[in-house]
């Protein structure tokens, strides 16, 4: 009893003296205004990217309508220009197109990037990951040849007959160009042959389905961008209809019905973007905040899809998975 009472007295005394007891510090009473720039067009349904980011802000004490105003725009509808004309203190971008659109704006604007599937140095967004050197910083999750080799190994373990791969990718995205190059480099070591299927829009995706249906590959692989992610359900349904194992870099594709994914957790990235917002609003400069590259990769398997494809998932393979979708 004495130990518990003494602990309460110490905590109370520290609080009275204004000494931190480990509770996350709250923002000052000042109200802030920031911008959110999404890729593509504004979706008809609530954007999950926004809700994850909002949760990250709330975790740090920023509440819209109380001490924060967020203006939401989308890159394809001139959103970057609109945000630049508003008195926002910084802009958070979601995806490669939004990041590049934001970068083309006023150089004095701090920009926090997230959901970035391309190397920000290669894309010309920052000078280096450790010292960005300009007005851009944030979180990136670009792939490498080694990462794609690991993904292809996982696919081969689940679907040993996967030798001829078809890869859906968007040639309009630098990240997708890098993606297909990395897959081409990784495939020969696993005796896999690759046919790349470029898709720039929904119409091209439908045409790709028709072409692949005439001469089906052994498996379907997709690079990650706004187009394929927005049509993940259609792609997964098509793959299942042709009985094709589908490999993807993100869990969202597997949640839509794909077989397997291995890659970064986007919701965690969006929440992490709030950390950068907090730092900048408190006076930090983007040039001095290192760009983080997602280190925590997750393996996700859709067991229902595996069953539909008559694929056996070994017990030890299931133990490796971070998530099993029933």
Strand partners, 34: 70
In this prediction the pTM is: 0.85
Between 220 and 116, whose confidence is greater?
220
**What would the two tokens of residue 139 be?**
């979180």
Phi/psi of residue 290, nearest 5 degrees: -60, 145
Between 132 and 5, whose confidence is greater?
132
Q: How many Å apart are CA 300 and CA 261, to the nearest integer?
A: 5
Residues 6+ apart with CB under 8 A from 298: 251, 261, 262, 263, 264, 265, 322, 323
**What confidence score (pLDDT) does residue 294 get?**
76
**What confidence score (pLDDT) does residue 29 get?**
65
**What confidence score (pLDDT) does residue 141 get?**
86
Which of 49, 25, 27, 30 shows the shortest CA–CA distance to 38?
A: 49
> Stretch 27-31: mean pLDDT, rounded?
70
Whose tokens are 């005796």? That residue is 191
Q: pLDDT tier at 42 (50, 70, 90 boundaries)?
A: confident
**What confidence score (pLDDT) does residue 220 get?**
98
* Domains in the chain: ranges and CATH: 31-142+266-296 (3.40.50.2300), 145-264+298-325 (3.40.50.2300)
Query: Could you read off the pLDDT of 149-158 as tens digits, one per residue?
Result: 999 999 999 9
Average pLDDT, the chain: 89
Phi/psi of residue 200, nearest 5 degrees: -100, -20
| Lowest mean per-residue pLDDT among 33-47, 115-129, 226-240 | 33-47
**What confidence score (pLDDT) does residue 10 get?**
35
Give the DSSP per-residue string, 28-62. PS--EEEEEEESSS--SS--HHHHHHHHHHHHTT-
**What confidence score (pLDDT) does residue 35 get?**
96
**What confidence score (pLDDT) does residue 26 get?**
54
**What confidence score (pLDDT) does residue 187 get?**
95
> Stretch 166-175: mean pLDDT, rounded?
94
Whose tokens are 């990718």? That residue is 169
> Stretch 161-167: mean pLDDT, rounded?
96
Q: Is the pLDDT of residue 7 over 50?
A: no
Q: How many Å apart are CA 243 and CA 127, to the nearest integer?
A: 45
Q: Is the pLDDT of residue 221 over 90?
A: yes
Q: pLDDT tier at 130 (50, 70, 90 boundaries)?
A: very high
Q: Is the pLDDT of residue 182 over 70?
A: yes
**What confidence score (pLDDT) does residue 255 get?**
97
Which of 301, 293, 292, 297 shows the shortest CA–CA distance to 325?
A: 301
**What confidence score (pLDDT) does residue 30 get?**
82
| Lowest mean per-residue pLDDT among 66-70, 210-214, 294-298 | 294-298
Between 115 and 10, whose confidence is greater?
115
Between 28 and 222, whose confidence is greater?
222
CB 190 within 8 A of CB 153: yes
CB 177 within 8 A of CB 123: no
Q: pLDDT tier at 203 (50, 70, 90 boundaries)?
A: very high
**What would the two tokens of residue 141 be?**
């999750």
Exposure on the CB side of residue 136, measured as CA atoms within 13 A: 28
| Lowest mean per-residue pLDDT among 51-65, 134-148, 186-200, 232-246 | 134-148
Which of 192, 218, 196, 191 shows the shortest CA–CA distance to 208?
A: 196
DSSP secondary structure code for residue 122 in this structure: T
**What pairing do the DSSP bridges indicate for beta strands 297-302 and 260-264?**
antiparallel
Task: Residue 199: count other Cβ atoms within 10 Å of its Cβ.
Answer: 25
Task: Residue 10: count other Cβ atoms within 10 Å of its Cβ.
Answer: 11
Distances (CA, A) of 231 to 61, 161, 206, 225, 234: 35, 26, 11, 10, 5
Query: Could you read off the pLDDT of 261-284 as tens digits, one per residue?
Result: 999 999 999 999 999 999 999 999
Q: How many Å apart are CA 32 and CA 37, to the nearest integer?
A: 17
**What confidence score (pLDDT) does residue 296 get?**
79
Between 182 and 106, whose confidence is greater?
182
Q: Is the pLDDT of residue 260 over 60?
A: yes
Query: Could you read off the pLDDT of 54-65 as tens digits, one per residue?
Result: 999 999 999 999
Helices of type H across 120-265? 145-158, 174-186, 202-214, 226-230, 232-241, 251-255
């Amino acid at each position: 009893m004495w130990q518990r009472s003494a602990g309460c007295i110490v905590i109370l005394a520290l609080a009275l003296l204004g000494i931190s007891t480990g509770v996350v510090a709250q923002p000052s009473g000042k109200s802030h205004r920031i911008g959110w720039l999404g890729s593509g067009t504004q979706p008809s349904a609530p954007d999950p990217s926004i809700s994850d980011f909002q949760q990250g802000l709330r975790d740090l004490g920023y509440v819209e309508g109380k001490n924060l105003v967020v203006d939401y725009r989308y890159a394809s509808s001139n959103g970057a220009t609109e945000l630049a004309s508003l008195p926002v203190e910084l802009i958070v971008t979601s995806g490669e197109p939004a990041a590049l659109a934001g970068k083309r704006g006023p150089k004095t604007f701090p920009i926090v990037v997230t959901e970035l599937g391309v190397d920000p140095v290669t894309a010309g967004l920052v000078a280096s990951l450790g010292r960005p050197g300009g007005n851009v910083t944030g979180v990136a999750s670009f792939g490498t040849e080694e990462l794609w080799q690991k993904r292809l190994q996982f696919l081969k373990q689940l679907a040993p007959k996967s030798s001829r791969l078809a890869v859906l990718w968007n040639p309009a995205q630098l990240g997708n160009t890098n993606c297909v190059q990395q897959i081409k480099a990784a495939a020969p070591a696993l005796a896999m042959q690759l046919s790349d299927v470029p898709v720039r829009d929904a119409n091209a995706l439908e045409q790709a389905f028709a072409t692949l249906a005439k001469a089906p590959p052994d498996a379907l692989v997709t690079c990650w961008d706004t187009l394929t992610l927005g049509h993940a359900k259609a792609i997964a349904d098509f793959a299942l209809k042709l009985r094709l194992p589908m490999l993807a870099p993100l869990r969202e594709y597997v949640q839509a019905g794909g077989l397997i994914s291995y890659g970064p957790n986007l919701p965690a990235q969006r929440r992490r973007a709030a950390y950068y917002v907090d730092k900048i609003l408190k006076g930090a400069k983007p040039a001095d905040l290192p760009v983080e590259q997602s280190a925590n990769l997750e393996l996700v398997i859709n067991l229902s899809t595996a069953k539909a494809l008559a694929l056996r998932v070994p017990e030890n393979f299931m133990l490796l998975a971070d998530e099993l979708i029933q």
